[in-house]
Amino acid sequence: MSYLVLARKWRPKNFSEVVGQDHAVEALRNSISSKSSHHAYLFTGTRGVGKTSIARILAKALNCSNINENGEPCNECDSCNSINNGASIDFIEIDAASRRGIEDTKNLLETISYLPASSKYKVYLIDEVHMLTPESFNALLKNLEEPPAHVIFMFATTEYKKILPTIISRCLQVNLSSVGTNTILEHLKKIFKMEKISHDEGSLLLIAEAAKGSIRDALSISEKVISYCNKNLNENDVRNILGIPEPKILSNLLTSIIDEDPEELLKQLESYGEYEDHESLLQGLMDLIQVIAVNQFENKEDNEINDNLISIDPSKLQFLYQIGLSNLNHFSTGYDSYSIIKMTLLKMVAFSKEHQKKNSKPLDNESTQTEDLAWPKIFNELNINGMPKKILRQASVQKSNRTLLISLPEKMFSILNDNQKKDIEICFNDYFKEELKFSYDTKVDSSLTPENEDQIKDKGLKKNIKNSIEKDSSYKEIVGGLKIEKVKFNKKNET
């Protein structure tokens, strides 16, 4: 027999082998035992948590001729064996990603009227059902609502929000949750013992954490690590294979950020390496911040965390976590990951100083100090266009320390939306080279708006033109040579 990867070899064949989905398994068992099966099931959840595996077990249980009292399929009868071997003609499994069109759905629906060949039910399992086109979904509606008595539909998806509500309302939804790290760890211990693979505790914990709630991912990662370590796993090798940074590196980076020491920070980053997995480094740093924050609020003691880190201001931890969270998306752009992590860490230091300044209490004379702005002049120098520029043209602006008050006419204030505010605020931050706080009101001083300035200039220009024309000698000669006659009209002279 050819080699089977762990994810296929250890795929559950009955409900008792399903890991981490006790709530769903119990509900399905009860429905089978009470003979109250639904005609359509929708299995939802993230990747690798058992959607299609549970659907197959349910299909076996529904058609099993020797079903156990607890709702377990026997895995010995012809129906169970044919489904296990992928040879059942009454269990039709379809990949919606490759057969998503209306013609594929029509061909499928044409077979529904035929009775099952050798089973009690004809079961249709459509995987990744959210990939079907709207037309395909609509074609399913009537058959889902009132299918033939011998037909059962099963759908599996990772993105149920993309499915039409009319489809969801016709199905019994079974939500599968991500599997906990400890549950995955215990499952891996069992498998490694059966496979006779040596390991230490730390190596399996790293694999369980890297799986992020997915049993299949845990087994796929294990396959990779086993091949590299030749069935002798240790924590250091697993850490290097998966690109997981050492805890000491993360602690040193966070200490440098808190101490606001950019030189030491860059030194630590350089020691980590320019061509390593920098996204994992940032994720590891955020995980460390999260652990510290949780321990602070739960008053827990963790011997693995430095006492200096536990004493960090909780609000500062939240601030650093938000910076990491916002910059994590930049790694998907394809830009140099080393540059992204470097600028992210430096941003944590730079903004940390500004954060302290903002939280410090200003002096009384500073809090009320308003800067004199040549606002109409600044308006002409701003790099802004479109509707935001039209709005600002009718605005008066005041700046006090790091706060900018933008006053608008009520008409403009009512049409101002969040996207326009964002463009305006970015524009002002770029112009003043600092992060500002913004507020808006309708108390506009029309005499200080760029629009009023332009009107004054236009009036002055027209007046200057008129004076220049009147003083022009040629104009005077032309006007002086004109003879103007006054003619009186009365009603008798009118024709």
Can you tell me the distance from the alpha carbon of 74 to that of 55, in angstroms, rounded to the nearest whole number? 16
Displacement of CA 271 from its chain's centroid (Å): 31
Residues 13-25 have a mean pLDDT of 91
Question: Sheet containing 437-441: which strands, arranged edge to edge?
Answer: 396-400, 403-407, 437-441
Can you tell me the distance from the alpha carbon of 410 to that of 253, in angstroms, rounded to the nearest whole number? 50
What rounded mean pLDDT belongs to the chain?
A: 84
E strand residue ranges, 408-476: 437-441
Can you tell me the distance from the alpha carbon of 64 to that of 428, in angstroms, rounded to the nearest whole number? 70
Q: Which residue has the higher pLDDT, 360 or 305?
A: 305
Q: Read off the tokens for 31.
A: 């429905």
Scanning 37-170, the segments in alpha helix (DSSP H) are 51-63, 78-84, 102-110, 134-145, 165-168
Can you tell me the distance from the alpha carbon of 89 to that of 184, in angstroms, rounded to the nearest whole number? 34
Give tens-digit pLDDT for 198-257. Answer: 888 889 999 999 898 999 999 999 998 998 888 888 888 888 888 888 888 899 999 888
Burial class (CB in 10 A: 0-12, 13-18, 19+), 391: buried
Residue environment code for 179-193, b if the CB has 16+ CB neighbours within 10 A, otherwise e: bebebbbebbeebbe
Tokens 């090798």 belong to residue: 237
Q: For every residue of 136-152, which 3-state class applies, written as one string?
A: HHHHHHHHHHCCCCCEE
Share of the chain above pLDDT 90, in %: 24
Q: Determine which helix (DSSP H) or strand (DSSP E) holds 40, and give its type and residue range.
A: strand 40-44
Can you tell me the distance from the alpha carbon of 323 to that of 341, in angstroms, rounded to the nearest whole number? 11
Q: Read off the tokens for 211.
A: 């799986």
Count of Cβ atoms closer than 10 Å to residue 412 Cβ:
20
Question: Sheet containing 40-44: which strands, arranged edge to edge?
Answer: 91-95, 122-127, 151-157, 40-44, 172-175
Scanning 181-277, the segments in alpha helix (DSSP H) are 181-194, 201-211, 215-229, 235-242, 247-258, 262-272
**Whether the Cβ atoms of residue 27 and residue 174 lie closer than 8 Å to each other:** yes
Residues 273-285 have a mean pLDDT of 85
- Angle subtended at Cα 482 by Cα 480 and Cα 484, rounded to the nearest 5 degrees: 115
**Whether the Cβ atoms of residue 265 and residue 343 lie closer than 8 Å to each other:** no
The backbone torsions φ and ψ at residue 44, rounded to the nearest 5 degrees and listed phi first, read -125, 155
Amino acid found at 12 = P
pLDDT bracket for residue 448 (50, 70, 90): confident
What pLDDT is recorded for position 355? 47
Q: Which residue has the higher pLDDT, 486 or 48?
A: 48
Cα→Cα distances 373→178, 367, 466, Å:
56, 17, 33
Sequence-distant (6+) residues with CB within 8 A of 55 are 41, 43, 125, 154, 156
Give tens-digit pLDDT for 386-437. Answer: 888 888 989 999 888 788 899 999 888 888 888 888 889 888 888 888 888 8
Give tens-digit pLDDT for 166-198. Answer: 899 999 999 999 999 999 999 999 999 998 988
Which region holds residue 76: left if phi is over 0, alpha if psi is between -120 and 50, else beta? Answer: alpha
Residues 440-453 have a mean pLDDT of 87
